[in-house]
């Protein structure tokens, strides 16, 4: 049975923390700290997604999963937290969504379990992962078309020992052209122990290339990077990644 507007408001208020601002009904928007419309406008996503399979990695409250469903896609949303622990369940019920939700960790995902997808959304997740190259490689195994990646980046703000930030180009003009990734031990970044890595754009491009993606466009906004990619076939790169993880015998 469809929830009334008052029921939706009550359920929204019962969620302790919202990350995404999600329009649920006219005049009802979840009180998230993040306005995902700012990211959405930089993602090169089809307006009409009918007939497409879409994977939303690290879906959290589900804004992008629901948006792709609205565009007609068959969507699978994945997050390490149960959907009842975030706003996803409430938002899905308010919207009447049929998005498939999987409570899984990205490192456990395989094409054998999920199949492959026309579009993979990898948004706000990479810097929370201890092994970013493997995570991108997993995304590549699941992707047969396009990858959209958004992450924390250090081009406009390298974290210095005194806690201040400085653009890489101000530290040294050449650093923006060097693939770099800053590690955040403990609670170094924003007091959050799940923040592990801050790559620069050059590093992101390199990791994506190693994992058989071609960057088609990118945007840097403050301390974030948004990268739109297409898959490419590169047997040599695939072989070397598998070799590095002991999945191929040394010839």
**pLDDT tens digits, residue range 220-240?**
999 999 999 999 999 999 999
Boundaries of domain holding 144: 36-244
Does residue 249 fall inside a structural domain? no
Mean pLDDT of the chain: 96
Q: Which CATH number characterizes residue 115's domain? A: 3.40.50.150
Three-class secondary structure of residue 225 per DSSP: strand
Does residue 4 fall inside a structural domain? no
Q: State the pLDDT at residue 246.
A: 87
DSSP one-letter code for 128: G
52 vs 117: CA distance, rounded Å = 8
Is 70 exceeded by the pLDDT of residue 250?
no
Does residue 86 fall inside a structural domain? yes
Does residue 8 fall inside a structural domain? no
4-21: burial string, b at 16+ Cβ within 10 Å, e else: eeeebbebbeebeebbbb
The total number of structural domains that make up the chain: 1
**pLDDT tens digits, residue range 37-90?**
999 999 999 999 999 999 999 999 999 999 999 999 999 999 999 999 999 999
182 vs 159: CA distance, rounded Å = 8
Does residue 103 fall inside a structural domain? yes
DSSP one-letter code for 160: P
Does residue 15 fall inside a structural domain? no
86: number of Cβ within 10 Å: 21
Q: State the pLDDT at residue 58.
A: 98
Is 90 exceeded by the pLDDT of residue 139?
yes
72 vs 77: CA distance, rounded Å = 15
Question: pLDDT band at residue 158, thresholds of 50, 70 and 90?
Answer: very high
- pLDDT (mean) for 189-214: 97
Nearest Cα to Cα of residue 212 among 234, 245, 239: 234
Does residue 10 fall inside a structural domain? no
Does residue 20 fall inside a structural domain? no
């Amino acid at each position: 049975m469809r929830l009334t507007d008052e029921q939706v408001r009550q359920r929204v208020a019962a969620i302790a923390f919202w990350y995404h601002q999600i329009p649920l009904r006219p005049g009802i928007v979840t009180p998230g700290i993040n306005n995902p419309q700012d990211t959405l406008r930089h993602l090169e996503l089809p307006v009409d997604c009918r007939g497409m399979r879409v994977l939303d990695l690290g879906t959290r409250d589900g804004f992008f999963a629901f948006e792709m469903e609205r565009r007609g896609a068959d969507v699978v949303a994945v997050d390490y937290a149960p959907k009842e622990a975030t706003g996803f369940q409430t938002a899905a019920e308010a919207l009447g969504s049929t998005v498939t939700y999987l409570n899984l960790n990205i490192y456990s995902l395989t094409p054998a379990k999920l199949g492959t997808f026309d579009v993979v959304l990898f948004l706000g997740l990479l810097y929370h992962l201890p092994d970013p190259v493997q995570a991108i490689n997993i995304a590549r195994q699941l992707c047969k078309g396009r990858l959209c990646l958004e992450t924390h980046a250090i081009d406009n703000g390298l974290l210095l020992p005194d806690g201040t930030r400085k653009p890489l180009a101000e530290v040294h003009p050449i650093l923006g052209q060097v693939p770099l990734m800053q590690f955040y031990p403990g609670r170094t970044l924003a007091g959050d122990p799940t923040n592990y890595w801050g790559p620069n754009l050059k590093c992101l491009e390199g990791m994506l290339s190693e994992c058989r993606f071609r960057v088609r466009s990118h945007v840097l906004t403050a301390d974030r990077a948004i990268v739109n990619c297409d898959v490419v076939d590169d047997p040599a790169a695939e072989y070397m990644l598998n070799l590095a993880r002991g999945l191929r015998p040394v010839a």
